[in-house]
Structure 1
Amino acid sequence: MKKIYLFILFLIINFGGLALGNWFMGDAVASDWYNNLNKAPWTPPGWVFGAAWTVIMFCFSIYLTYLFSVRNSKFVMFVYAIAVLLNVCWNFLFFNQHFITWGFVNIILLTLVIIYFFITFRHDKLHSLKYLLLPYIIWLCIATSLNGYIVFNN
């Protein structure tokens, strides 16, 4: 029963973070500023972002449920809080403030934090569950390349 509550809690926090980030973003995707940026040729259509983040946060919530049921410590909570903060801050930096370079630094740090989860928190029960982080890692690599392209080509 504890796992169900943890899963619901992580769904609320993770999707709440996405909602907050979306609020910071506002209508920036439709703005002249964003539309006039030189974007990477591999930039996916807008609907892909929502679909990707839905899958990512669902998988991340499952992973966190098992991580926190096996290894619930202040340090794990701290690393998770950093991940949530970085995830929310990227939208604020990139879309709200137009700080594309700081957004690039932010997304690199977020990628490193999620990779840290993947390689650091090892436990027999988590061994195969860590692969739930792969969609997040792959997407962050794509997003980092998109952000980097904008930084270096605008």
Structure 2
Amino acid sequence: MTTATTRHPLVGLAVFVAAVAVTAVVGSLSAVSASERYQALAQPPWAPPSWLFGPVWTVLYVLIAVSGWLVWKAEGTTTRLLPYAVQLLLNALWTPLFFAAERYTLALVDIIALAIAIIWTITAFRRHRPSALLLVPYLAWVLFATALNAAIVTLN
């Protein structure tokens, strides 16, 4: 474990921003025609328009990066960051599964695991209340996206 005196906070922030950016880039590279594919799917009446996803995810990714960074800043490299890494991996997998592979049921399994991993992360971050609270909007959006994914599986 590194100590607070050997870690530079801005370098740490850059690492967390980079990790989240990689997650976002993996998704965006596999979703080149996501808007068209999304609109072509049978959707429930409560499905949001495709243009909404980009702005929502941008805000969520900032919250995710800051959340992890705050825990790291307080504790250094810690096992509390394991669920954080797991949720980033599951997040990165969802878009390629859903849009690139068109494996909607497998994407549903992934997003359910993602919701569980986010809950695990929030629980692991509970000693750092601001970090845990920053992940609540992410969990809410992922739960909504899980319902949307399930509806798309059912309708298609």
2:148 corresponds to which letter in structure 1?
A: L
Give the match for residue 152 of structure 2. Answer: 150
Give the match for residue 68 of structure 2. Answer: 64
Within the candidate set 49, 55, 70, 2:53 is matched to 49
- Given that 1:118 and 1:133 are in contact with CA atoms closer than 8 Å, whether structure 2 keeps it comes out as yes
Q: Kindly, what percent of the aligned residue pairs are identical?
A: 30
Within the candidate set 5, 9, 19, 1:3 is matched to 9
TM-score (norm 2): 0.86
1:93 equivalenced with 2:97 (yes/no): yes
- Given that 2:72 and 2:78 are in contact with CA atoms closer than 8 Å, whether structure 1 keeps it comes out as no
TM-score (norm 1): 0.87
1:25 corresponds to which letter in structure 2?
A: A
Give the match for residue 24 of structure 2. Answer: 18
**How far 1:74 moved relative to its partner?**
5.7
- SS of the residue corresponding to residue 26 of structure 1 reads coil
1:57 corresponds to which letter in structure 2?
A: Y
User: 1:94-140: per-residue Cα shift (whole Å, max 9, x none)?
Assistant: 111111000001001111111111123332xx123321111101110
- Given that 1:3 and 1:66 are in contact with CA atoms closer than 8 Å, whether structure 2 keeps it comes out as no
Give the stretch that moved more between structures: 21-30 or 131-140.
21-30
Structure 1: give runs of 5+ residues left out of the alignment. Answer: none
Give the stretch that moved more between structures: 138-147 or 3-12.
3-12
Which structure carries more relative contact order (alpha carbon 8 Å, separation 6+)?
1
Q: Distance in 1 between matches of 2:155 and 2:142?
A: 19
Give the stretch that moved more between structures: 76-85 or 13-22.
76-85
**How far 1:78 moved relative to its partner?**
3.2
Give the match for residue 127 of structure 1. Answer: 129
Q: Distance in 2 between matches of 1:26 and 1:91?
A: 10
1:75 corresponds to which letter in structure 2?
A: T
- Given that 2:67 and 2:130 are in contact with CA atoms closer than 8 Å, whether structure 1 keeps it comes out as no
**How far 1:81 moved relative to its partner?**
2.4
Structure 2: give runs of 5+ residues left out of the alignment. Answer: 1-6
Give the match for residue 84 of structure 1. Answer: 88
Give the match for residue 3 of structure 2. Answer: none
**How far 1:51 moved relative to its partner?**
0.8
> Over aligned residue pairs, what C-alpha RMSD do you find?
1.8
Give the match for residue 4 of structure 2. Answer: none
Give the match for residue 112 of structure 1. Answer: 116
Q: Distance in 1 between matches of 2:126 and 2:31?
A: 35
Number of equivalent positions: 150
